[in-house]
């Protein structure tokens, strides 16, 4: 059989493009397929935050390695992806949250992360004008940051094209097997492309797209909404994370001055309906103004919605399936952009050598999904 490519990637977001990029670096000819435009799914709807403050050693390591890769992107990709290390600040409004953060900081520091617990006076210096009512302190990591998802994906895609191809507005209809082996994909245009490796990186559509192969992948779409304000003078840098039931998280874009943010809806909103709502707009504005009162008169210029790709335990899936040559990479629960660079590297190692560069059993497809991370 004459292979069209060495590997086919389905999905044009951060995960598909990062995986394709690192496979390309290893000398593989990669064909990547996206049913709409690059970043048209979850990646293009995220708010661009990048953090390393997690609650398990594996997640911390993946995040720290990703930050290293973000720092190298300007040289590696030959373009500025607007990566800025402006920090993340997790606020503690209860003794319970304060205790959890202090315990996690010890784990994170043991792994080499530059994170510390800061008191209220320090927080007031970091975020001038913040409402400190009920605030006890916070977990602060200055090397966390932000980048532009559109530029990162574009940079990866351009590198893939140097050896392979990127197809946009080209939906894959099915993956074709010969016995229990992947041999090709067929698009809705009726075109067939051959490769011994196929990666399903379709984000919130992973489960639905896998059904035609008899697979039931536990990845479920969930709607989240975001907004962005008019540009104003920059007065704070870090992503502010308020995990109270009626909290939110937002940061100020380092170059433009706009504030971009979101919150986690309670109860969750399952499904792929990505229509935005007035309820979110009104509630997010209230939450932001409560946290920083001076924001109450800032104008909102745009809102949007997108899908998180959720798993039962909050951890992603990066694994081969029982079908030879078929890989699943997804279920990042809103963290795909920040973890994407290292995930792409891990996947490339796993696919080409048969083993990951380090233990990623927590991301296994057949794992026990009943455990959950604390710092999500």
The mean pLDDT value of the chain amounts to: 96
Locate tokens 């661009």: which residue?
48
In terms of CATH architecture, what is 85-144+221-307? 2-Layer Sandwich (3.30)
Cβ(232)–Cβ(242) below 8 Å: no
What SS3 class is residue 250? strand
Q: Range(s) for CATH 3.50.50.60 in the chain? A: 7-48+150-219+313-363
- Token representation of residue 172: 């894959």
Rounded Cα gap, residues 376 and 374, in angstroms? 6
State residue 150's pLDDT score.
98
CATH 3.30.9.10 intervals, the chain: 85-144+221-307
Mean pLDDT score, 198-203: 98
Confidence of residue 195 (pLDDT cuts 50, 70, 90): very high
Q: What is the pLDDT of residue 372?
A: 60
How many C-beta atoms surround the C-beta of residue 304 within 10 A? 16
pLDDT of residue 1: 62
Non-local (6+) Cβ contacts of 45 within 8 A are 226, 274, 304, 305, 306, 307
**For the structural domain made of 7-48+150-219+313-363, what CATH number should be given?**
3.50.50.60
Q: Would you state the pLDDT for residue 374?
A: 53
User: Which of 160-169, 212-221, 251-260, 320-329 has the lowest average pLDDT?
Assistant: 251-260
User: Which sign, positive or negative, has the C-alpha torsion 151, 263, 307, 330?
Assistant: positive
Reported as a single tens digit per residue, the pLDDT across 94-125 is 999 999 999 999 999 999 999 999 999 999 99
* pLDDT 10s digits, 313-368: 999 999 999 999 999 999 999 999 999 999 999 999 999 999 999 999 999 999 98
CB 367 within 8 A of CB 361: yes
d(CA 176, CA 45): 31
Whether pLDDT at 256 is above 90: no
């Amino acid at each position: 059989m004459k292979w069209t490519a060495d590997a086919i990637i389905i999905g044009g977001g951060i995960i598909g493009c990062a995986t394709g990029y690192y496979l390309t670096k290893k000398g593989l000819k990669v064909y990547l397929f996206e049913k709409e435009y690059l970043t048209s799914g979850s990646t293009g709807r995220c708010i661009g935050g990048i953090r390393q403050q997690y609650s398990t050693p594996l997640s911390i390591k993946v995040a720290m390695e990703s930050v290293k890769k973000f720092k190298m992107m300007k040289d590696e990709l030959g373009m500025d992806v607007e990566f800025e290390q402006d920090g993340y600040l997790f606020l503690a409004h209860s003794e319970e949250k304060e205790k959890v953060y202090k315990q996690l900081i010890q784990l994170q520091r043991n792994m080499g992360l530059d994170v510390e617990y800061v008191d209220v006076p320090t927080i007031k210096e970091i975020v001038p004008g913040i409402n400190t009512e009920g605030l006890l302190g916070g977990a602060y990591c200055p090397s966390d940051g932000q980048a532009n998802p559109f530029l990162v994906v574009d940079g990866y895609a351009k590198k893939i094209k140097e050896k392979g191809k990127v197809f946009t507005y080209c939906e894959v209809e099915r993956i074709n097997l010969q016995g229990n082996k992947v041999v090709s994909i067929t698009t809705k245009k009726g075109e067939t492309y051959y490769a011994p490796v196929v990666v399903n990186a379709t984000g919130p559509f992973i489960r639905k797209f896998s059904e035609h192969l008899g697979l039931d992948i536990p990845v479920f779409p969930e709607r989240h909404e975001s907004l962005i304000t008019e540009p104003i003078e920059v007065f704070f840098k870090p992503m502010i994370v308020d995990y109270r039931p009626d909290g939110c998280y937002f940061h100020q874009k380092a170059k433009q001055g706009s504030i971009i943010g979101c919150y986690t809806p309670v109860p969750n909103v399952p499904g792929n309906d990505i229509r935005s709502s007035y309820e979110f707009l009104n509630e997010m504005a209230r939450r932001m103004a409560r946290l920083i009162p001076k924001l109450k008169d800032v104008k909102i210029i745009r809102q949007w919605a997108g899908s998180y790709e959720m798993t039962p335990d909050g951890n992603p899936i990066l694994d081969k399936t029982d079908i030879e040559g078929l890989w699943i990479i997804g279920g990042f629960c809103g963290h795909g952009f920040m973890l994407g660079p290292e995930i792409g590297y891990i996947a490339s190692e796993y696919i080409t050598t048969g083993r990951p560069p380090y233990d990623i059993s927590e991301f296994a497809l057949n794992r026990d999904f009943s455990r959950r991370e604390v710092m999500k």
